[in-house]
Amino acid sequence: MRWSTLLTLLLATLPAGATDTVLPDYLPSETKVAFGIRMRNIIDLLQSQSFAAEWRSASSQLTAQTPLAGFDPLRDLDEVLITSSGEGDRPPVLLVLRGRFDVDRFASAAASYHGVPILEDAKKAGAIAILDASTAIAGDAPLVRAAIDRRAGGAGIAASLAARIEPLRSRYSIWGVGDRPKHPPARAGRPDAMDTVDQFEFGADLADGLELTAKIHLRTPEDAEKMASSIALAEGMLKGSQASSTGAKVEMHTGDGWLKLSITVPQEALNKAIQEQRAALQSAAMSRLGVSISPQKRAPTSGVKVVTDAHGDTLVVTLPGKR
């Protein structure tokens, strides 16, 4: 069973537009960190950049021999919620997936836990369960089973955290909010820069270019002073010639222990950046597969077959040798 691969795929396709704004009551009460993705704007962006065929090809291949066969993240997934306590070296994670799910197909190959179809990996470390036709949960198996136990009777996450989530979740395609856990992950070597942060919030919208807002709160006045001393240099770099030539705008402010950042990137500049990044990723992937690439034409090595769409984008790469 490839549950971890499936979760990676779901996260990699990330969409926006869920209608249910009420946070589920089965989220762990110890949640300190939450992230969310609403898919509609992201799907539109992927389709405008001709990514849709690639994602659908990858998803169909990964889910073909699983109970999620036929599931299309670009069509069937509306929202992803990711929650964690942030505790320990490998913090436990619970995902809530909103969309459209074939319960009967999934249940035919799944076990049952309190009447809910559930699939767990061989070591019962990870699991995915479908609560109903519009909701699935996934992540660490103990959290998935505990969430099923709490349905219709759980207290949910803290009201203070929920109050911070609501305006971000209703406004942005991608958002995150969190507090420093009581026992953060241990880090070897030098302290991480995030060790000085005790709260953070961010939101990004892709409806018309990129709009990003973020703020972090530093643990001590000393940390805030150190951060403030480096802001001028960082702001100057972000406002450099490249940003001004693309029309991007960057604003950074500090006060009362908070660092606030705002970035806007026009749609044209965002499209160009996506295409450049996409080309770099394709070049790296094809190089690892032994396929030479020129600026004018992709030239596969002997025995390698490359299937492209009408735009010339790679859909499938078939390597030589036995299947």
pLDDT tens sequence across 252-269: 887 888 888 888 888 888
Between vectors from CA 102 to CA 100 and to CA 108, what angle results, nearest 5°?
155
pLDDT in tens, 97-129: 999 998 998 898 899 999 999 999 878 789 999
Task: Give the mean pLDDT of the chain.
Answer: 75
CA torsion through residues 284, 285, 288, 292, sign: negative
Banded model confidence at residue 271, pLDDT cuts 50, 70, 90: confident
Distance between CA atoms of 281 and 230, rounded to whole angstroms? 32
- What per-residue confidence (pLDDT) applies to 45? 65
For residue 323, the SS3 value is coil
| Phi and psi, residue 59, nearest 5° | -65, -40
Token output for 151: 């349905």
Is the pLDDT at 186 greater than 90? The verdict is no
Q: Which residue has the higher pLDDT, 154 or 92?
A: 92
User: Per mean pLDDT, which range of 22-31, 160-169, 186-195, 292-301 is the poorest?
Assistant: 292-301
Per-range mean pLDDT, top range of 74-78, 185-189, 229-233: 74-78
- What per-residue confidence (pLDDT) applies to 65? 55
Distance between CA atoms of 292 and 290, rounded to whole angstroms? 7
- What per-residue confidence (pLDDT) applies to 22? 78
Is the pLDDT at 174 greater than 90? The verdict is yes
Distances (CA, A) of 87 to 15, 83, 180: 28, 12, 9
pLDDT in tens, 217-242: 988 877 777 776 776 666 666 565 55
Distance between CA atoms of 103 and 197, rounded to whole angstroms? 42
Q: Which residue has the higher pLDDT, 301 or 47?
A: 47
Among 247, 238, 287, which residue's Cα sits nearest to residue 269? 247
- What per-residue confidence (pLDDT) applies to 196? 81
CB 168 within 8 A of CB 203: yes
Average pLDDT over residues 87-103: 90
- What per-residue confidence (pLDDT) applies to 251? 84
- What per-residue confidence (pLDDT) applies to 149? 93
Distances (CA, A) of 66 to 1, 46, 70, 103, 108: 8, 25, 9, 13, 11
Distance between CA atoms of 128 and 269, rounded to whole angstroms? 38
- What per-residue confidence (pLDDT) applies to 249? 84
- What per-residue confidence (pLDDT) applies to 178? 94
